[in-house]
Amino acid sequence: MAHVVGIHIAAATWPEQVRAVDEVEAIAQQGLVGDRKFGARRQISIVSNEELAEAAARLGSGIPAGLTRRQITISEGRFDREPGSTVRLGEVVVTVNGDCSPCDEMEESIGPGARAALVELAGITGTIVTGGMIRIGDSVEFE
């Protein structure tokens, strides 16, 4: 079963560095407390190590999850990118908005070719519908 393996928060937009934390509070319809996306339409982004491994194979080198600037990293699984599908992270429920397309900053943070390697593999964005704490080790369910 998939579980949360990484949580990365940044207080400000690029080039502010993300910091790894063990837990974060998710507020319904708002986002992750302390993160730059709090109150934004794209409240949460989630990436899978399984998809990152596929992107790394395309790129020819590893892709550290924190450098993607996605807030939550899960151990395995492929996302249903259909808007309205649901992901549960422990007690937190997220409704998927869609694919989280890679941006130009990935060319700088990860290296040349990263943006192309991550197309359709850079995770999803979503809206938090049920808040709570997200912790390293929490189970992940695709509903």
How confident is the model at residue 16, as a pLDDT? 67
Nearest to 95 by CA among 129, 137, 132: 129
How confident is the model at residue 95, as a pLDDT? 97
Sequence letter at residue 16:
E
Name the pTM for this structure. 0.93
Pairing relationship of beta strands 44-48 and 72-74 according to DSSP bridges: parallel
How confident is the model at residue 143, as a pLDDT? 84
The one-digit pLDDT tens for each residue of the chain (143 residues) are 999 999 999 987 766 688 999 999 999 999 999 999 899 888 999 999 999 999 999 999 999 998 998 999 999 998 888 899 999 999 999 999 999 999 888 898 899 999 999 999 999 999 999 999 999 999 999 98
- Burial 99-114, CB ≥16 within 10 A → b, else e: bbebbebbeebbeeeb
By the 8 A CB rule, do 56 and 86 touch?
Answer: no
Other C-beta atoms closer than 10 Å to the C-beta of 91 total 14
- For residue 79, count CB atoms less than 10 angstroms from its CB and return exposed for 0-12, middle for 13-18, buried for 19 or more: buried
